[in-house]
Amino acid sequence: MSAEIITIGTELLHGLVRNTNADRILDRLAEIGVEVTYQTTVGDDTARLSDAFRAAGHRARFVITTGGLGPTPDDLTRKVVATVFRRRLVLDETVLAHIRARFKARGIDMPAINEAQALVPRGARVIENPRGTAPGLHFEHQETDFFVLPGVPAEADAMLAQYVIPSIKATAAGPWISRRVVRTIGLSESVLAERLIGVEGEAPDVMIGYLPHSYGLDVTLTVLALDPSWAAEAIRRIERRVIEAAGDHVYGFGRDTMATVLGALLVEQGRTIATAESFTAGGIGANIASVPGASRYFLGGVTAYSNAAKTALLGVKKALIDKHGAVSAEVAEAMAAGARERFGADIAISSTGIAGPDGGTPEKPVGLFFLGLATPEGVHSVHRQVGGEREEIVVRSSALALDFVRRRVAQAPQASRGK
Amino acid sequence: MSAEIITIGTELLHGLVRNTNADRILDRLAEIGVEVTYQTTVGDDTARLSDAFRAAGHRARFVITTGGLGPTPDDLTRKVVATVFRRRLVLDETVLAHIRARFKARGIDMPAINEAQALVPRGARVIENPRGTAPGLHFEHQETDFFVLPGVPAEADAMLAQYVIPSIKATAAGPWISRRVVRTIGLSESVLAERLIGVEGEAPDVMIGYLPHSYGLDVTLTVLALDPSWAAEAIRRIERRVIEAAGDHVYGFGRDTMATVLGALLVEQGRTIATAESFTAGGIGANIASVPGASRYFLGGVTAYSNAAKTALLGVKKALIDKHGAVSAEVAEAMAAGARERFGADIAISSTGIAGPDGGTPEKPVGLFFLGLATPEGVHSVHRQVGGEREEIVVRSSALALDFVRRRVAQAPQASRGK
């Protein structure tokens, strides 16, 4: 019971566009446990597109395609479907009326060229497009269901949610993919893999995967099985071992992010937070604020790129900066204390470091940074070193800053909670 | 002279991982003008992987693959190459010594399992891996060159840059892809397309593409031709028309971003900038600071999420907030003026708005925001409305904030420049 995805469009092969349709369809199929065996991207070329349709039809139970349904001559999908599967294109009056109506609503007469979008291969059902003119198509050929969607991501996504996924869910017979993700930060793949040697034997059907992402390492536990509750139990067994092995490096599961986890902790404890940032330039605050409802605990922050700003806006003494340098534990702590006081927050987190590519020295290389944390219990700091390009350094250190808060907040003494 | 990409790994089909290897290879091939005809992703499955290698070998002049070269049993690429192309696997002592040395450098004895990574299909050249243990492979089969790389993005990327791209560049014979990207903000695809009706006729070989991205619309101009200078001239002709049609919505070309363009303007004029943000929560400052060397012009910013913070840190009068509301032109202007003064900056940009999903009202819906701009010439504000989810709203409004500054700075009177 496998599925295949074909994303169509020469622009997808030109290296500028992220293939968000493929990402989204993979995600949605994973959610309902359907295994995808191939994902192919092909340009606007009749012969290549025909081959892609034929090959997928021979291999898969379900085929989802996006792209090539527009009104211009390089939109070939409709014609290719008609030729490959020997179905004459018929003008569908209902579809035509829908397209005309969409144009009329915008005060425009339908251009003649758009009439082509009302051509439907004989026997295909029309998938309504709530967000655009190009309808989708659903047809069966031999043992395969084809779902043919437009390339505009918002349109494809709406039709996927409203029609394709429910339809596949209703017909699919398993086996199903079950998956669990354990999210960690601060551990390398090889260290964690070494700690997990032998664990695979406890549930051999569970595939353990390691996925490093921009600021951490995800451990994925995947099973292909006919019985989802058996699969869930097997995954739970391995998950317990992963949690033992990773300890407090585990910050969440599934779609948790560092920001949602920290936000939930702050809400639970009724605490507020502010930021004082230098080289992360607002990245920590933006990360905290990315969660809906963050205004309940996030009061704000200062980005003090220049030393003068550190003094003027955060009250960091000029003499302290002169003595220890802007990138130092002392300045990080003073920044956090200053932000905590000025915002009237329970907690303040600060960062000062070297994002590069310039500005590094042998003693303070690019990627070195200090984090300061001010809480009712006092002021602390840590230093860390990360690698990568400028943007990666900022992303990683912002996440490590949230992690520093998370660990401290999770450990906060009961007495200071729920104030 | 076409190329194909095969990215290998079951995890790539599970909807969690962005396929950065495919993105990167597409990008690098586009840079040297090589056309990619298919990009296929396939899981760790011997039969499917074999089919993918066979199909690509029949179709393409160059095939680049990533993944499946690790030491574990689900790493199948080496075996599949040996079987499909009938080349016996031979232990390569030089490769083995290299792998042992890498482990030794980390103070570890090489696990026996890693010996498999030193197996090389007979007649294949070894592509050195400067960042990991798995070497790459380069071999020819009939008329096709295969480049087989590991899946770890940093490793694949290094080998691509050092070996694969130079090798393809040296052997490829054209035709070549030429491409130019015009980057715009604030225009919809349909409006711009309408203004460009008929323009295609002026250089029919130039394919005009529209690529909406997170905060703007890119217009891509692409030609496949044997003579790159002829192609460049055809593209230039259409590019002039696009620039006429888009006017000052054009903010850059190619890899320019709003932040690099604004940064270059600020450097040229010798001006400094500070930010005062509410709902964008540091997104504007992070955007400005994303450019290497931004510390020359970016002094810092305040994120004042709460009204108290707007008063305490930016000097916005409480009475003003009470009278007009935090989301208002008056408060935006006061925030910008406060940041300009406190940071001692030439220019300050502010934002206040509703990021959602909650907090909208009929008068002030989600996505509405005000931008304030304080310059030596005075204080201005504008309001805008954008759509999307919370994160999209923040990304779009941060970019529009930079655009607001860009337009004003580009127009700045000569007298105030170069201070």
Q: What are the φ/ψ torsions at residue A35 (nearest 5 degrees)? A: -80, 130
Helix (H, G, I), strand (E, B) or coil at A272: coil
Taking CA A260 as the corner, what is the angle to CA B357 and CA A403, rounded to the nearest 5 degrees? 145
Which residues in B lie closer than 8 A to residue A191 (C-beta atoms)? none
CA distance B136 to B332: 56
b/e code B286-325 from CB counts within 10 Å (16+ = b): bbbbbbbebbebbbbbbbbbbbebbbbbbebeeebbeeee
Q: Is the Cβ pair B52, A38 closer than 8 Å? A: yes
- Give B156→chain A minimum CA distance, Å: 15
Tens of pLDDT, residues B40-79: 999 999 999 999 999 999 999 999 999 999 887 778 999 9
Taking CA A267 as the corner, what is the angle to CA A185 and CA A263, rounded to the nearest 5 degrees? 30
* Residue reference for tokens 């006017």: B247
Tell whether pTM > 0.90. no
By DSSP bridging, strand A176-184 and strand B176-184 are: unpaired
Q: Is the Cβ pair A16, B283 closer than 8 Å? A: no
Q: Is the Cβ pair A220, B16 closer than 8 Å? A: yes
| pLDDT higher than 80, residue A15 | no
Two structure tokens written together for B368:
């509405």
Tens of pLDDT, residues A34-87: 999 999 999 999 999 999 999 999 999 999 999 999 887 778 999 999 999 999
Question: pLDDT band at residue B419, thresholds of 50, 70 and 90?
Answer: very low
Nearest CA in chain A to B388: A154
* Half-sphere exposure (Cβ direction) of B308: Cα atoms closer than 13 Å: 10
What is the pLDDT, as a whole number, of residue A412?
63
Q: Is the Cβ pair A281, B281 closer than 8 Å? A: no
B10 and chain A in contact, CB less than 8 A: yes
| pLDDT higher than 70, residue A383 | yes
Contacts of B293 (CB under 8 A, 6+ apart): A358, B263, B267
Q: Is the Cβ pair B300, A292 closer than 8 Å? A: no
CA distance B15 to B9: 12
CA distance B7 to B120: 20
What is the pLDDT, as a whole number, of residue A414?
43
Q: Which residue has the higher pLDDT, B108 or B270?
A: B270
Q: Is the Cβ pair A16, B31 closer than 8 Å? A: no
What is the pLDDT, as a whole number, of residue A90?
96
Q: Is the Cβ pair A284, B283 closer than 8 Å? A: no
Tens of pLDDT, residues A313-344: 999 999 999 999 999 999 999 999 999 999 99
ipTM of the complex: 0.77
| B residues 286..315 contacting A (CB < 8 A) | 286, 288-290, 292-295, 298-306, 308-309, 312-313
Pair B198, B169: CB distance under 8 Å: no
Q: Which residue has the higher pLDDT, A50 or B418?
A: A50
Tens of pLDDT, residues A226-258: 998 999 999 999 999 999 999 999 999 998 999
Tens of pLDDT, residues B78-105: 999 999 999 999 999 999 999 898 888 8
A402 closest CA partner among A113, A142, A183: A183
Three-state secondary structure readout of B274-336: EEEECCCCCHHHHHHHCCCCHHHCEEEEEEECCHHHHHHHHCCCHHHHHHHCCCCHHHHHHHH
CA distance B128 to B170: 19
Question: pLDDT band at residue A418, thresholds of 50, 70 and 90?
Answer: very low
In one-letter notation, the amino acid at residue B379 is V
Which residues in A lie closer than 8 A to residue B397 (C-beta atoms)? none
Q: Considering chain B, what percentage of its residues have pLDDT values greater than 90?
A: 67
By DSSP bridging, strand B119-121 and strand B89-91 are: antiparallel
**Mean pLDDT calculated for residue range B161-171:** 95
| pLDDT higher than 50, residue A417 | no
Burial (Cβ within 10 Å: 0-12, 13-18, ≥19) of residue A83: middle
Taking CA A191 as the corner, what is the angle to CA A188 and CA A193, rounded to the nearest 5 degrees? 105
Helix (H, G, I), strand (E, B) or coil at A81: helix
Two structure tokens written together for B319:
């009475």
Q: Is the Cβ pair A45, B29 closer than 8 Å? A: no
Nearest CA in chain B to A194: B111
Question: pLDDT band at residue B417, thresholds of 50, 70 and 90?
Answer: very low
Q: How many CB atoms within 10 Å of residue B52?
A: 25
Two structure tokens written together for B91:
């232990």
Task: Pick the most confident of A173-182, B10-19, B86-95.
Answer: B86-95
| A residues 319..358 contacting B (CB < 8 A) | 342-344, 356-358
| pLDDT higher than 50, residue B418 | no
User: How far, in Å, are A20, A36, A73 from residue A127 at the CA level?
Assistant: 20, 22, 22
Which residues in B lie closer than 8 A to residue A391 (C-beta atoms)? 290
Nearest CA in chain B to A52: B38
When CB atoms are compared, the residue of A36, A74, A286 closest to B281 is A286
Q: Is the Cβ pair A289, B298 closer than 8 Å? A: no
User: How far, in Å, are B164, B219, B264 from residue B252 at the CA level?
Assistant: 30, 11, 11
Which residues in A lie closer than 8 A to residue B28 (C-beta atoms)? 15
Q: How many CB atoms within 10 Å of residue A270?
A: 12
b/e code B87-116 from CB counts within 10 Å (16+ = b): bebeebeebbebbbebeeeeeeebeeebeb
Which residues in A lie closer than 8 A to residue B306 (C-beta atoms)? 295, 299-300, 343
Two structure tokens written together for B24:
């990167």
Pair B301, B339: CB distance under 8 Å: yes
Q: Is residue B108 left, alpha or beta, with left meaning phi > 0 and alpha meaning psi from -120 to 50?
A: beta
User: How far, in Å, are B5, B39, B147, B167, B267 from residue B171 at the CA level?
Assistant: 18, 21, 13, 6, 42
- DSSP letter, residue B161: I
CA distance A396 to A215: 5
Pair A315, A343: CB distance under 8 Å: no
CA distance A12 to B109: 44
What is the pLDDT, as a whole number, of residue A413?
52
Helix (H, G, I), strand (E, B) or coil at B44: coil
When CB atoms are compared, the residue of A16, A29, A218 closest to B15 is A29
| pLDDT higher than 60, residue B416 | no
Tens of pLDDT, residues B103-151: 888 777 888 888 888 999 999 999 999 888 889 999 999 999 999 999 9
Tens of pLDDT, residues B211-267: 877 788 899 899 989 998 999 999 999 999 999 999 999 999 998 999 999 999 999
Tens of pLDDT, residues A112-151: 888 888 999 999 999 999 888 889 999 999 999 999 999 9
- Give A93→chain B minimum CA distance, Å: 25
B388 and chain A in contact, CB less than 8 A: no
Q: Is the Cβ pair B300, A289 closer than 8 Å? A: no
* Residue reference for tokens 């709003």: B258
Nearest CA in chain A to B43: A37
What is the pLDDT, as a whole number, of residue B412?
63
Question: pLDDT band at residue A18, thresholds of 50, 70 and 90?
Answer: confident
When CB atoms are compared, the residue of B26, B289, B358 closest to A15 is B26
What is the pLDDT, as a whole number, of residue B152?
86
Q: Is the Cβ pair B309, A343 closer than 8 Å? A: yes
CA distance B256 to B262: 10
Contacts of A204 (CB under 8 A, 6+ apart): none
What is the pLDDT, as a whole number, of residue B62?
98
A119 and chain B in contact, CB less than 8 A: no
In one-letter notation, the amino acid at residue A272 is T
Average pLDDT value over all residues in chain A: 91
CA distance B82 to B89: 6
What is the pLDDT, as a whole number, of residue B413?
52
Tens of pLDDT, residues B355-414: 888 888 888 888 899 999 999 999 999 999 888 788 888 889 999 999 999 998 877 654
When CB atoms are compared, the residue of A12, A289, A306 closest to B300 is A306
Q: Is the Cβ pair A292, B40 closer than 8 Å? A: no
Q: How many CB atoms within 10 Å of residue B411?
A: 8
